[in-house]
Amino acid sequence: MQRGHRSLFNDLFPDEIIPATQPKRKSRNPELHLLRNEYILTRYFYFARLAKAEKKTYAWVLENLEAETFLCQRTLINIIGNDSGILKKLRDAKPSIDTLRKQYPWLVWRNPVL
């Protein structure tokens, strides 16, 4: 055994027991919630256009969204259904890939093969 190994353990886990308290329930920030939903709908719009161009299915779109957002498909469907106004704005605006790339520069935006 190495010297001082117990002191490292004891420093991390002291003998005193701290009583567990009920965590405060944090309320959702509506602005962040809206930004998250806008992001999800923008990606949905992109994946749907990509799916149409590459002859993929609706399930493919949801699978990609699920992998990217860590939300289950049922939650994603609820968000898409509840915030369809954002989706209509995207459909009417028809943003280019460059516009989407500027809005969310950390994401991969590839042009669909037409």
pLDDT at 4: 58
Q: Other C-beta atoms within 10 Å of 26: how many?
A: 6
Phi, psi of 10 (to 5 degrees): -65, -35
Phi, psi of 104 (to 5 degrees): -130, 75
Residue 103's alpha-carbon distances to 7, 35, 100, 109, in angstroms, are 50, 12, 5, 11
pLDDT at 114: 39
Helix (H) or strand (E) holding 108: none
pLDDT in tens, the chain (114 residues): 555 556 666 666 666 655 566 666 666 888 999 999 999 999 999 999 999 989 999 999 999 999 999 999 999 999 999 988 999 999 999 999 999 999 999 999 986 553
